[in-house]
Amino acid sequence: MKIIIAIVSNEDNSKVSSCLNKSGFFVTKLSSTGSFLMSGNTTLLIGTDDDKVDSVIDIIKTYSKKRTRMVASSSSFGMDMSMSIPVEVSVGGATIFVLNVDKFEKI
pLDDT digits (tens, 9 = 90+) for 8-49: 988 899 999 999 999 999 999 998 876 655 567 899 999 999
Q: CA–CA separation, 94 vs 43, rounded Å?
A: 10
Residue 86: burial class (beta carbons within 10 Å; 0-12, 13-18, 19+)? exposed
3-state helix, strand, coil in the chain (%, to 5): 25, 50, 25
Structural domain spans, the chain: 2-100
On whether the 2-100 domain is CATH 3.90.1010.10, my answer is no
Which residues are paired to 43 by β-bridges? 7, 30
Residue 26: burial class (beta carbons within 10 Å; 0-12, 13-18, 19+)? exposed
Predicted TM-score (pTM) of this structure: 0.77
